[in-house]
Amino acid sequence: MKTPTVNRAADMNRTVRANRALRTPGGLSLRLDPRAVLVVVLLLVAAGAAGVLLIGTGDAKIPAADVLRTLAGNGTAYQDFIVNELRLPRVLVGLLVGASLGLGGALFQSVSRNPLGSPDVLGLSQGSTAGALIVIVLMSGTAAQVTLGALIGGLATGCAIHLLAWKQGVHGYRLVLVGIGISAIATAVNGYLLTKADMVDAARAIVWMTGSLNGRDWDQVWPLLALCAVLVPVVLVGARGLRMMEMGDDVANALGVRVQRVRLVLMVSSVLLTAAATAAAGPVAFVALTAPQLARRLTRSPGPNLVPSLCMGAALLVAADWASQRAFGADQLPVGVVTGVLGGGYLLWLLVTERRAGRI
């Protein structure tokens, strides 16, 4: 996904001209790109709209207007139960998982300086899956235990990747390669566990492995929300040096970025975000890989595009779940199938158009 230098320079010029700095009396200044702000607003609107539609979809259909009224607290008791107790948590989990995956993916891709450096490729998802499968197959655990297993699996994988890739600092390329190795090991463990399982456990494991929002309730919402509330600010503050790090470690060092420290903070945050998201909904394919790419294309701005990626992830996941519910009926096909197929299709389309434009 390399744009020729000429194009990139033109992009830079355009964005530099379009940027407006927001200055506060205290001497702090914040650069604002009007296009990026517009994209973020539109994506938030899209995510909200998809969420409302998703709440209205199911065996009991509720018009969008009624959903909004019920969310505001003015619905009938029946609508209130369906919307607030049954479907709102599902949508919130979807939004939070999408946001975490989008942000985590953007961080990974930026830190590894590789569009393929997403949690799917690096083996975090597979590590979480291994954790969950161990609980499902060997312990026949409850849903809560599966979540815990996935979280532990994801964090352990993240630690392993980081430790193994560490050699007087973490180099982007080595990180991706080590991740691929870990990913293959975890995939083998998963395959082995699947062959050991009886049919019921195997079916349950496959559904979990695809990533699904079915039957998510408030118990999944709160931990994820708390984690996002802590980590998103940490990431956004910590990511100030990220844009300079994309120019290479040496340049970033010279510009006064503490490269290793920034990278460690960001890696830990993104591992936590991805592991928590995977624990809540299973390894939803491709959101972490696609969301940052889509966001970057919409904002047309260089750099990690963290906030647009976050919003894009949320909008993408909820819209995909809605599409799956509409097209195949309620709870028939998990959202992971849709994101996988759509994400793959999107990448193909991207390749064809980029090729036509002669940019890759």
Partner 1 sequence: MLVDSPPEQRAETAPAPPSRKAVRALGLLLSVAVLVLVALASIAIGAKALSPDQVWHGLFHDTGSYGDVVVDERVSRTVLGLLAGAALGLSGAVLQALTRNPLADPGLLGINAGASAAVVTAITYLGVTSLTGYVWFAFLGAAAVGALVWFLGGSRGATPVRLALAGTAISAALYGYLQAVMITDGAALGRMRFWTVGSLASATNSTILQVLPFLAAGTLLALGLARPLNAVAMGDDTARALGAHLGRTRGLAMLAATVLCGAATAACGPIVFVGLMVPHVVRSFTGPDLRWILPYATVLSPVLLLGADVIGRVVARPSELQVGIVTALIGGPVFIFLVRRRRTAQL
Told to check if 71 binds partner 1 by CB under 8 A, we report no
Backbone angles phi, psi at 32, to 5 degrees: -120, 130
Told to check if 84 binds partner 1 by CB under 8 A, we report no
**Residues 161, 164, 169, 172, CA torsion sign:** negative
Cα–Cα distance for residue pair 172/151, rounded to 1 Å: 24
In the block, residue with structure tokens 């759509």: 342
Backbone angles phi, psi at 31, to 5 degrees: -80, 135
The single residue among 184, 226, 255, 330 that binds partner 1, judged by CB under 8 A, is 184
**Biggest CA pair distance of the chain:** 66
First to last CA, the chain: 6
What is the 8-class DSSP label of residue 20? E
Cα–Cα distance for residue pair 64/47, rounded to 1 Å: 14
CA atoms within 13 A on the CB side of 17: 5
Window 311 to 340, contacts with partner 1 (CB under 8 A): 332-334, 336-340
Told to check if 3 binds partner 1 by CB under 8 A, we report no
Stretch that binds partner 1, among 5-13, 197-205, 228-236, 272-280 (CB under 8 A): 197-205
228: tokens are 């996002």
Told to check if 124 binds partner 1 by CB under 8 A, we report no
Residues 6+ apart with CB under 8 A from 85: none
Measured CA angle at 199 (ends 195, 203), to 5 deg: 90
Told to check if 189 binds partner 1 by CB under 8 A, we report yes
Single-letter amino acid, residue 279: A
- CB of residue 162 to partner 1, shortest distance in Å: 12
Nearer to partner 1, 18 or 341 (CB): 341
- CB of residue 163 to partner 1, shortest distance in Å: 11
- CB of residue 97 to partner 1, shortest distance in Å: 17
Single-letter amino acid, residue 242: L
Stretch that binds partner 1, among 32-40, 76-84, 186-194, 295-303 (CB under 8 A): 186-194
Told to check if 177 binds partner 1 by CB under 8 A, we report yes
Told to check if 1 binds partner 1 by CB under 8 A, we report yes
Told to check if 174 binds partner 1 by CB under 8 A, we report yes
Nearer to partner 1, 292 or 334 (CB): 334
- CB of residue 254 to partner 1, shortest distance in Å: 21
Nearer to partner 1, 63 or 169 (CB): 169
Stretch that binds partner 1, among 40-48, 116-124, 142-150, 214-222 (CB under 8 A): 116-124
What is the 8-class DSSP label of residue 163? H
Nearer to partner 1, 107 or 176 (CB): 176
Told to check if 271 binds partner 1 by CB under 8 A, we report no
Window 278 to 307, contacts with partner 1 (CB under 8 A): 285-286, 289
Told to check if 356 binds partner 1 by CB under 8 A, we report no
Told to check if 34 binds partner 1 by CB under 8 A, we report no
Element (H, E) at 261: helix 259-281
Told to check if 134 binds partner 1 by CB under 8 A, we report no
Residues 6+ apart with CB under 8 A from 313: 98, 99, 100, 101, 102, 103, 105, 287, 288, 291
Stretch that binds partner 1, among 57-65, 141-149, 202-210, 254-262 (CB under 8 A): 202-210
Cα–Cα distance for residue pair 167/156, rounded to 1 Å: 19
358: tokens are 């002669």
Element (H, E) at 31: strand 29-32
C-alpha distances in angstroms, 342 versus 284, 286, 323?
Answer: 12, 9, 10
The single residue among 195, 237, 250, 256 that binds partner 1, judged by CB under 8 A, is 195
- Binding residues for partner 1, rule: CB under 8 A, are 1-2, 115-116, 120-121, 164-165, 167, 171, 173-174, 176-178, 180-182, 184-185, 187-189, 191-192, 194-195, 199, 202-203, 206-207, 209-210, 285-286, 289, 332-334, 336-341, 343-348, 350-352, 355, 360
